[in-house]
Amino acid sequence: MRKKPKIAVIGAGASGCFAALQIYDELQGLCDIQIFEKSKEPLSKLKISGGGRCNVTHNLFDPELLSMRYPRGNKELRWAFESFSPSDTITWFQKRGVTLKAEADGRMFPTTDSSETIINCFLDELKSKKIPIHFEQGLVGIYPNQIPDVNLNQKNGFRVLWEGGFEENFGTVVIATGSNRKVWSILEKLGHKIITPVPSLFTLTLENTDLVELTGLVVPNSEIKILPKGKPQSGPMLITHWGLSGPCALRLSAWEARTLFEADYKVDLSVNWIGGEKTQNVEEIYLSKKEKTPGDKLVPDPLWKLPNRFWEWILNESKIQPNKRYSDISKSEIRNLCLILTQTKLRMVAKGVFKEEFVTAGGVSRKDIQFQTMESKKTPGLFFTGEVIDVDGVTGGFNFQNAWTTATIAARGIRKTIVI
């Protein structure tokens, strides 16, 4: 009688644990799955996500729109999200007694607002399926076997070596180690191309500017780009004591991750504090008000929803005294005001840290992976999930959704390679 197929999942993070559970279900439990983790605890990123509340996914259900939230991997994930989407994530957790809720910005959290709810869900599932996690197991190497092992009931399989000299044979190996340079080095020896990793999702540290005196203010509809010809990113902008954060700044850091890295995070930025409004259009609005209502005080358009203190900063930058009426303002002052509103020039001098979350742009080349199965094109029997691949999303639950989706596709891909 043949033994159960042996499957090693390297990494006990979100994608690794989810992959193990999905593989178990796909193979109806007729397999020996083991998870190996280099640290002393599992699911560490889940624990700190969303300020400890765990931003599980995003309630963006259209695969086309969803894939556009990934600076790297959007083309590959476009199809993948047809296979396992945020709605499937919601259903998966719901079946296990975990209800998710969507906030105004689309981020989804457990209704308990606690990451422990998600972590316990995973650990309980792993325990009920008797899937062990072996901690403090640092990977040393993965070596494809040259001779088939009929007992593995799979392809030739692999000899997996751990720190301390321990080794074991597995028919299938799933790499779910996230951003791990040592593992990437091991994969390079197997013939995989590694796209040099650079940081993504970070805040923008600015050169000396009195803007930082407005720490804590949010400008709700901003647009930012790298000068001279960067692609603009939009969303709420949070002013911090070191510079800029919030969705708008973080999206820029993700989409321009490699550009910013190559510039050593020293670039000129242009910020439009009122979204996509053109300078000329705004100028025409103010000139019209100057002509038609000269006795009115100079105020921002209510649709812009600019905080009062921020408007005072705009006026100060424009060298316009507060409470001035349109009749007292020259056309050149109006022009300067509109330029500050729509084209504020700032200098970025360093990258900051986005809470404790860390995402990289880079990893195993997407060209080396068959995204219909997540199996390696270079090494049959080797599968990839999550951030070990050159795939990353903007903030908002998108990186976890990538973990759930690629883990599920890997599980289905593994099912196709194994005859029970």
| Res. 405: pLDDT tops 90 | yes
Same domain membership, residue 23 and residue 167 = yes
| Helix, strand, or coil (residue 133) | strand
Per-residue confidence band for 109, with pLDDT thresholds at 50, 70 and 90: very high
Last residue of a domain, one of 329, 353, 377: 353
Q: Does residue 362 sit within a domain?
A: yes
Terminal-residue alpha carbon distance, the chain? 12
Q: Does residue 313 sit within a domain?
A: yes
Same domain membership, residue 373 and residue 337 = no
Q: Does residue 290 sit within a domain?
A: yes
Q: Does residue 19 sit within a domain?
A: yes
Q: Does residue 393 sit within a domain?
A: yes
Same domain membership, residue 187 and residue 55 = yes
Same domain membership, residue 342 and residue 236 = yes
CA-based nearest residue to 42, from 75, 67, 19, 72? 19
Same domain membership, residue 393 and residue 297 = no
Q: What is the dihedral of CA 205, 209, 214, 217, to 10 degrees?
A: -40
Q: Does residue 1 sit within a domain?
A: no
Per-residue confidence band for 2, with pLDDT thresholds at 50, 70 and 90: low
Q: Does residue 72 sit within a domain?
A: yes
Same domain membership, residue 212 and residue 285 = yes
Domains held by the chain: number: 2
Same domain membership, residue 139 and residue 40 = yes
| Res. 26: pLDDT tops 80 | yes
Last residue of a domain, one of 307, 334, 353: 353
Query: What distances in angstroms separate CA 142 from CA 272, 335, 356, one per listed residue?
Result: 50, 64, 31
Same domain membership, residue 211 and residue 178 = no
Distance of CA 36 to the CA centre of its chain: 24
Q: Does residue 135 sit within a domain?
A: yes
Q: What is the mean pLDDT of the chain?
A: 94
CATH of the domain at 71: 3.50.50.60
Distance of CA 370 to the CA centre of its chain: 21
Same domain membership, residue 363 and residue 334 = no
Dump pLDDT digits (tens) for 159-202.
999 998 899 999 999 999 999 999 999 999 999 999 999 999 99
Dump pLDDT digits (tens) for 363-372.
999 999 999 9
Strand ranges, E, within 339-397: 344-351, 359-364, 369-370, 375-376, 382-384
Same domain membership, residue 315 and residue 289 = yes
Same domain membership, residue 173 and residue 36 = yes
| Res. 419: pLDDT tops 80 | no
Which residue range(s) make up the domain with 215? 203-353
Same domain membership, residue 282 and residue 141 = no
Residue 134 half-sphere exposure, CB side, CA atoms within 13 Å? 14
Per-residue confidence band for 111, with pLDDT thresholds at 50, 70 and 90: very high
Last residue of a domain, one of 353, 382, 406: 353
